[in-house]
Amino acid sequence: MIIKKYPIIILLLFFLSGLKAQQFASLQLENIFRSLSDKFELPPESGVFTPQTFRLPLRVTYDTEGKIIHLGIAIFSKNEQDVIGKMLCDFQERYLLDVLLQPDDEKARAFLRKNKTEVSISGIALETQFKQEYLEEAIRRIIDGNPLYTLVHENYQWGVLWEDELFCLVFKFPSDIQLILGMDKKEIGDFFEHQLNQYQPTQFEHTPLILDADYLKPLRKDMFVLPGSTFFIEEMRSDIYLIKDSISGYKTVFDAKYPEESIANLFISPDGRVENLEINIRHKGYDETPSFNENLYHLLSFMNKDFETYFGIEHLSSEKLEFTVIFRNKEYTFYHLLFVETTLDAIFEGSEPLKGTLYTYIPNQNIKNLYYEREEKTENN
């Protein structure tokens, strides 16, 4: 009896090792792969392929470690990806494939409702109710033809339209970063760290400061403020502070005599002053809190290219400095929040690394609740 167990164990280990051989960037990609794996095998390298058992061409992309980071219908060309944005193109290819892989029409409709997405098709059939076969036929026409493609973004909602003289396909989806990346809370936290590590700025990624003296307001002697906007509460602002300069007219304030204004400028309108500052970050993830050191120049360059930044002082004294920085994504409904505990010497003399706690991909509703609760506590006190 004992001898007979060994072949079973060996076969089981072999089976498990086979499952682990292929890695995925997300559970959603793995589920799509499982739905396809009983129909055909994926090619070992990135590219477009058309399986005999599937009517539409598919695209698979591997990273440098052999992990699958994209699997979807091959709808967009390289030029279209460059214009539209690879992340949005990957989402549309992956999500529409996922819709087609649902077991039946009813489950496909439930899948669309669950994710607050809509697909409508005209010119394929007279029925108004969504069917997978109509979607497949519409995608076939998109791939074989040259329909006009329109992408609209308004009020945190995306709308996509493919149309020609014979048909049109409308696809609507929310600006939900987890939906678009196809990742759960843990996966998206790991994704942030991976993207930050891979990011290589060629120059500082921020909007150039263009001054118009008509918009400046005097704050104190020789100091002016370029008013920004507030974020839920008056203390969280995107103002920039300037002083008169005999050479260039105005320059951003960075002086230990004006700590609050200087530190706000450091994050709202950063420049070469941050290049030598380091920050130790505790990244509050879904089920763990990894810690890593990061160059502040690198972090702010990474953030500023896609975010609006807001700054607020929590505590300021000669012994302790605490402040919050909110990074609001310009296109999607999420925020990053950085809470920093440090000293004035660390900021102005670089005596030690800053210490920060970073919360990433906070949903819109969660950040609203956070500040409404804060306002209520302030009023009660």
CB 299 within 8 A of CB 279: yes
Q: Could you give the CA distance from residue 270 to residue 264 in angstroms, rounded to a whole number?
A: 9
CB 98 within 8 A of CB 111: yes
- Can you state the percent helix, strand and coil of the chain, rounding each to 5? 35, 30, 30
CB 309 within 8 A of CB 303: yes
Mean pLDDT across 333-340: 92
Lowest model confidence (mean pLDDT) among 48-52, 86-90, 160-164, 361-365: 361-365
Mean pLDDT across 147-175: 93
Whole-model pTM: value is 0.80
At 101, is the secondary structure helix, strand, or coil?
Answer: coil
Say if residue 99's pLDDT is above 90. yes
pLDDT of 255-310, one tens digit each? 999 999 999 999 998 766 677 889 999 998 766 777 899 998 889 989 887 899 99
Identify the band that residue 209 occupies on the pLDDT scale cut at 50, 70 and 90: low
Judging by DSSP bridges, how do beta strands 278-284 and 354-363 pair with one another? Answer: parallel
Q: What is the pLDDT of residue 316?
A: 94
* DSSP 8-state assignment for residue 53: T
Q: What is the pLDDT of residue 12?
A: 36
pLDDT of 105-155, one tens digit each? 999 999 999 999 999 998 765 556 789 999 999 999 999 998 999 999 988
CA 293 distance to own-chain centroid: 21
Backbone dihedral angles phi then psi of residue 195, each to the nearest 5 degrees = -65, -40
CB 204 within 8 A of CB 297: yes
Given CA atoms 26, 32, 35, 38 in this order, what sign does their dihedral have?
negative
Token digits of residue 314: 């929590």
Q: Which helix (H) or strand (E) holds 58?
A: strand 58-62
Rg (CA), the chain: 26
**Mean pLDDT of all residues in the chain?**
85
Q: Could you give the CA distance from residue 12 to residue 258 in angstroms, rounded to a whole number?
A: 67
Q: Map out the domains of the chain as residue ranges.
A: 22-181, 185-380
